[in-house]
């Protein structure tokens, strides 16, 4: 009898932990869009990822835009994916170690394009739906959240945020509750992300949802059968975003599980 009660108690706690925010109309708007991953980029034609031309191209095609935000050494939010500049700029420095002025010296993928400021992208895109991923390196540094929030308040734009870090998602719940927010996740057993095994288990299984209260779950579509994601989706019916879909065939396979897709390498 006691064993059964313990099992029931643990199950109730688990179901509480994975419960996201209630569905709200503001999130439904973003769940209807399709998002070009880092913009519609094309290296062969001099349009690198997370560049102003890539975002403009996506906007002109009628797509929403997915982008990534880091913080510079002087606390300016810039649109860039990697922690390090090496892959995109050929410079072995971390974004958080250089100033905004120093970043202006670098070019993206041998093009003439530079790393844009978040403010510049918001001005360009206007009311184009934007899916803004908050990058927090190291994990406990949430200064980027405050900088992004301050920037968003100065622009009339259509933005939702997402992050792998539930502390970042929680920040926006507390300080900008009107902003639609999402929890990013995946099967971390297949990832070499520099986080502890325990943290991987907690993040993969959405065990911070009770705290962050995301409006949507953005899950790697190839990991859609992960138990906690499947249960959360069926039980609480949150809006679900699939990342990153790279072909019409993958989009078709993701369709029964997700409300929308973040896509790359093809046009939906």
Active site residues: 37, 81
Given a contact cutoff of 8 angstroms between Cβ atoms, the answer to whether 96 and 137 are in contact is yes
Evaluate the omega torsion of the peptide bond into residue 138 and state whether it is cis, within 30 degrees of 0: yes
Given a contact cutoff of 8 angstroms between Cβ atoms, the answer to whether 241 and 219 are in contact is yes
The values of phi and psi at residue 74, to 5°, are: -100, 25
Task: Give the residue among 268, 259, 261 at the shortest CA–CA distance from 245.
Answer: 261
The values of phi and psi at residue 70, to 5°, are: -115, 170
183 DSSP β-pair partners: 163, 217
Distance in angstroms (rounded) separating the CA atoms of residues 187 and 185: 7
Distance in angstroms (rounded) separating the CA atoms of residues 77 and 173: 19
Please name the helix (run of DSSP H) or strand (run of DSSP E) that holds residue 67, with its range, or none: strand 64-71
Query: Strand, coil or helix: what is 110?
Result: coil
Task: Give the residue among 165, 153, 164, 160 at the shortest CA–CA distance from 181.
Answer: 160
Task: Give the residue among 262, 267, 266, 222 at the shortest CA–CA distance from 81.
Answer: 262
């Amino acid at each position: 009898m006691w064993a059964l009660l313990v099992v029931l108690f643990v199950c109730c706690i688990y179901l509480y932990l994975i419960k996201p925010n209630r569905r709200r109309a503001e999130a439904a708007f973003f769940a209807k869009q399709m998002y070009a991953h880092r913009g519609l980029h094309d290296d062969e034609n001099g349009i690198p990822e997370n560049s102003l031309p890539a975002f403009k191209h996506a906007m002109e095609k009628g797509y929403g835009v997915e982008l990534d935000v880091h913080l510079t050494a002087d606390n300016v939010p810039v649109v860039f994916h990697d922690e390090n500049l090496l892959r995109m700029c050929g410079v072995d420095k971390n974004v958080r170690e250089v100033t905004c002025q120093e970043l202006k010296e670098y070019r993206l993928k041998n093009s003439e394009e530079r790393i844009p400021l978040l403010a510049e992208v918001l001005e360009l895109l206007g009311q184009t739906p934007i899916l803004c991923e908050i990058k927090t390196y190291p994990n406990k540094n949430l200064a980027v959240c405050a900088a992004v929030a301050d920037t968003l308040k100065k622009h009339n734009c259509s933005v939702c945020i997402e992050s792998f870090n539930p502390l970042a998602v929680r920040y926006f719940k507390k300080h900008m509750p009107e902003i639609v927010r999402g929890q990013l996740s995946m099967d971390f057993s297949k990832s070499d992300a520099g986080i502890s095994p325990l943290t991987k288990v907690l993040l993969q299984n959405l065990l911070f949802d009770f705290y962050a209260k995301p409006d949507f779950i953005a899950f790697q579509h190839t990991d859609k059968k992960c138990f906690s994601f499947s249960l959360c989706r069926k039980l609480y019916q949150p809006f679900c975003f699939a990342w990153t879909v790279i072909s019409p065939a993958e989009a078709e396979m993701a369709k029964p599980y997700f409300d929308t897709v973040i896509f790359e390498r093809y046009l939906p």
